[in-house]
Amino acid sequence: MQERFGIIGNSSGVRQALDRVRQIAGTDITVLIEGESGVGKELFAQAIHETSSRRHKSMLIMNCGAIPEGLIESELFGAEKGAYTGAVERRTGYFEDADGGTIVLDEIGEMPLSAQVRLLRVLETGEFRRVGSTRSQKTNVRIIAATNKDLARQVETGRFREDLYYRLSTVILHVPPLRDRKEDILPIFEHFQHRFAQQYNSSAPRLDLSARELLLRYRWPGNIRELRNVAEQTVVLLQRDSISSEDLRPNLRGVTAGGNGMDLVPLAAGGGSAEEPAGARERELIYRALLEMRGEVKELKEQVAALVAATRAGMPSVQDPSRLLVMHEETGNGGSFIEDAPYEFEPSPDDTPAEEEADSRMPTLEDAERTLILSALKRFENNRRQTAEALGISERTLYRKLKEIEASESID
């Protein structure tokens, strides 16, 4: 099965997913394939269809995130002539074209709520109507849904119907990310190298030990799709017999100085050298943690300034909030770095000596973030959308951080 469908790997996660494919392939049970972008969910959907009794019928793949909201229902169910502007003739939809076969609904989490209602009816009754028609039609298709989102979390936030989630998730097939199956990284990389070497009539350069270690340490945010791109670049751009980690670094996002700081290669285990200044390793770890906050770091200085303004009554004043975190843009190489600046406190004239001693302790970033979020929620009367916009983060990030706060203490 792995050779037939190009599923490479011997990790436990891949073996478990393939075992699940074998168990469900001979049935018509609805399947939800979960996994990050680029892990190969479509390959597993193809394996399910091609090993089922429906393999002689069509398997149609619909990307729910690539079709405008106003057209998604006509794409799924078809439309009668004149049903909407531009409908100059009757057209069939996926459920009609794939009758007897399989429909793969990719990025199902992007489907509009209005279309979710009609999809649920088709799953429950096997009937649908073309847009603009009053006549019901029967269909016999198997649904395989795929998503890179947490649909259970989408249900909690009201972005996905709970009844449809339970109907789609009869069987959940989880495809693990590449960073959780490190033993598969090198075999997959060498497979792609060999394929592209044949395609471009070239030779595949050999990886030395440092290059292999770098591939294993990298987090691969783009998963197999990113790994394939890097393998193709080594064949086309690196015309040499052996390549090192320094040759690979420019192709790994976030590793080079010109990267965007995301998904950095983790630091090696163990302490620093004797010559390393005290605290240097700790600072480096902090910097890396800040960089991995991605877009949130860009607003961090403004957030801290807003925190100082919102909590001035309960915290000592800051002499210069702009000195807390300084972002420098290097136009020469397109990169950026963070420079640590003094975090100075100025005692309030009304503070007693005991208060001065208590307030002299620097608040942690976690405490500052918590106070800022709760203050913003109070200001916008618990409106999460306005709160997220004011903080410069997504609603999903705000929801996650509120869950973390709730887990640590009880809040109103």
338 residue type, one letter: I
Residue 143 in tokens: 């649904």
Res 351: pLDDT: 46
Res 370: pLDDT: 84
Of the CATH numbers 1.10.10.10, 3.20.20.140, 1.10.8.60, 3.30.230.10, which one belongs to the domain with range 179-251? Answer: 1.10.8.60
Whole-number Å distance between alpha carbons of 280 and 269: 15
Domain boundaries of the chain, sorted by first residue: 2-176, 179-251, 294-408
Whole-number Å distance between alpha carbons of 142 and 175: 20
Res 411: pLDDT: 53
Residue 180 in tokens: 């959780």
Res 84: pLDDT: 77
Quick check: helix, strand or coil at residue 177?
Answer: coil
Q: Which of 51, 40, 52, 48 is nearest to 14 (CA)?
A: 40
| 144 and 33 Cβ atoms separated by less than 8 Å | yes
Kindly report the number of other CB atoms within 10 A of residue 326's CB atom: 12
| 192 and 6 Cβ atoms separated by less than 8 Å | no
Res 283: pLDDT: 53
Establish how many alpha carbons lie within 13 A of residue 48's alpha carbon, considering only the half-sphere containing its beta carbon. 30
Q: Where are the alpha helices (DSSP H) in 295-363?
A: 295-298, 300-310, 353-359
**Residue 234 CB partners (closer than 8 Å, separation 6+):** 193, 204, 205, 243, 247, 248, 251
Residue 4 in tokens: 């037939």
How much is the CA Rg of the chain, to the nearest whole Å? 27
Res 116: pLDDT: 93
Res 332: pLDDT: 42
Res 279: pLDDT: 52
Res 170: pLDDT: 94
Q: Which of 379, 111, 203 is nearest to 103 (CA)?
A: 111
Helix pair angle (365-379, 384-391), 10° resolution: 130
Whole-number Å distance between alpha carbons of 279 and 400: 31
Whole-number Å distance between alpha carbons of 404 and 341: 29
| 44 and 2 Cβ atoms separated by less than 8 Å | no
Q: How does DSSP classify residue 11?
A: S
Q: Where are the alpha helices (DSSP H) in 110-238?
A: 113-125, 151-156, 162-168, 185-199, 209-217, 223-237
Kindly report the number of other CB atoms within 10 A of residue 21's CB atom: 21
Q: What is the CATH number of domain 2-176?
A: 3.40.50.300
**What average pLDDT values come out for the chain (412 residues) when binned by 10 residues?**
90 94 94 94 96 95 88 89 80 92 95 91 91 90 95 93 95 95 95 94 91 94 93 90 90 52 44 46 52 50 57 45 39 40 40 47 72 84 82 82 76 52
- Cα angle vertex 297, ends 332, 343, to 5°? 95
Pairing of strands 136-138, 127-129: antiparallel
